Amino acid sequence: MEHPGFFERAGPYALSEVAAAAGAEIANGADATVKIDDVRPLFEAGPSHISFIDNKKYLSQLDATKAGACLVIPAIADRVPAGTTALITKQPYHGFARALALFYPAAMQPLVTTAGAPPVDPTAILEAGVMIEPGAIIGREAQIGAGTRIAAGAVIGARVTIGRGCFIGPLATVTHALVGDRVIIHSGVRIGQDGFGFAMGRTGHLKVPQIGRVIVQDDVEIGANTTIDRGALKDTIIGEGSKIDNLVQIGHNVIIGRHCVIVSMCGISGSTELGDFVVMGGQSGTVGHIKIGSGAQVGGASHPTHDVPPGARYFGTPAKPLRESAREQAMIKRLVARDKDSYEDGTPEPEEG
């Protein structure tokens, strides 16, 4: 059975209504009465959807999009493909945020459970052998598989699904998520909160509703106080068998492959993709929108700023191939030692300024 989703969608709306809400101008000659019923990314939008582009990195997706309408800056309005109406604005991301708020008005205060309901909502479906400890809350239409234990004070949000043989630790919170079998979620974990999305501006920062989900596949383990944000439009995905340590932050739209190891205090920025069997050392982190290839290793306290090839070993800030980084550090050490020796031999130190 298809999951019903976590957010109720308003609409459909006429293109003129969407443009007005987004603060955009409809391109000349377009039919303003066309109905728009949802907001989607460029690569999966269809004729009844609105999308946006504010980064030239995605121009190839604009060329191929099937969206009914797209928010664009004036400079690229002529590039919008036939069949897609340009909605012209100086700030496409701001317009996108307002369009999301139009279609998903409840996304800023998402439902966890029904007000006044008992701790285990009567609409929740629990298979045989589910154990619910005192103080746990199970939201509306949640589903929990056989043999799963929900520890004291944990919260399972509305329509969340938890597979079989799982353990959800004390005070953990799981919302807007689909969790597989044999998953271990330790105490204090936060899964499914909205990602850090704001349309920045000189007069303030407009919050962008986040309407995606978190998908946690089978046999994943997630350490205490780790946070995993739900996707903005698509899903945040944690691949099968991956092991995540304590105090890790995983941003929205991140995709983590199978059997990855992510050590404590690591930060994965939004829309980063990790292949299979990637290792991220403690206190390492990435910028957003990059790819770490399968089998790659990122050293502790290292921070890649560009794509990392499969099987590579990177170290440093900004992270570089391990041998290159080691040579640089050795050279710096030799230079420092040489200068130190010259000072000790009586050579005057250079004057400052």
Q: Which residues are marked as active site?
A: 252
Residues 6+ apart with CB under 8 A from 173: 154, 155, 157, 189, 190, 191, 192, 193
Instruction: Tell how far CA 349 is from the center of its chain.
Output: 51
DSSP assignment of 266-325, as one string?
-EE-TT-EE-TT-EE-TT-EE-SS-EE-TT-EE-TT----S-B-TT-EEETTTTEEHHHH
Which contacts of 90-93 are long-range, i.e. CB under 8 A and separated by 24 or more positions?
91/23, 91/54, 91/199, 91/201, 92/52, 92/53, 92/54, 93/52, 93/54, 93/199, 93/208
Closest CA to 193 of 108, 68, 83: 108
| 24 neighbors 42 (Cβ within 8 angstroms) | no
Closest CA to 227 of 194, 189, 196: 189
Can you read off the two tokens belonging to residue 146? 């056989």
Look-up of token digits 């944690």: 238
Cα(259)–Cα(27) distance, integer angstroms: 48
Bond prior to 12 in cis (omega within 30° of 0): yes
Q: 141: part of which helix (H) or strand (E)?
A: none
Q: How many helices (H) and strands (E) does the chain have?
A: 4, 37
Q: If 0-12 CB within 10 Å is exposed, 13-18 middle and 19+ buried, where does residue 161 land?
A: middle
| 143 neighbors 169 (Cβ within 8 angstroms) | no
Look-up of token digits 């921070």: 303
